[in-house]
Structure 1
């Protein structure tokens, strides 16, 4: 899957988090990686001052770290999108 750094792709990632158990928030902070995952409370915080590309990269990194199961999502489109993302290797 090709990663597209567009607002539409960011919206798809945000919708994936909305369909999961995790709450996605954009806030200011000086996180070393640009984001913070509070696993016990299921909250994901991304630096709100990140540019579009940085937000997308952070969300993809977080999805890889969380190891979400596509079968946990009700919508088939969310399942398929997550499966595609899990098969994608980011190249910097």
Structure 2
């Protein structure tokens, strides 16, 4: 997966269709992010660079409770790419 703004926007669409809100805030995040599952909010460290934001979202998305069948076909494809990237990272 390329580390571009377009890639970040595509990944954000997955979260949007899953009805999660992504916020960029300051804070003491050990892993660079925090998930507030009950409120469907993902908070990323605002100081992460583009590559860090993409990598963090790739790590987060497999942990979220989503229903891929509810996604549009394009977003489902992106979701599957994210899962493949996360799997490849975890094996690496």
What TM-score do you get using the length of structure 1 for normalisation?
Answer: 0.87
Contact 1:70 1:80 in 2 (8 A): no
> Residue 35 in 1 paired to residue 33 in 2?
yes
Partner of 2:89: 90
- How many residue pairs get matched? 89
1:1-59 CA-partner distances (Å, limit 9, x unpaired) = xx111111011111211111211111111100000000111110001110111100111
Alpha-carbon distance, 1:67 to partner: 4.8
**Structure 1: gaps spanning 5 or more residues:** none
Q: Which structure shows the higher helix fraction?
A: 2
Aligned partner of 2:78 among 70, 78, 81: 81
SS of the aligned residue for 2:44 comes to strand
- TM superposition outliers: structure 1 runs of 4+ over 3 Å: none
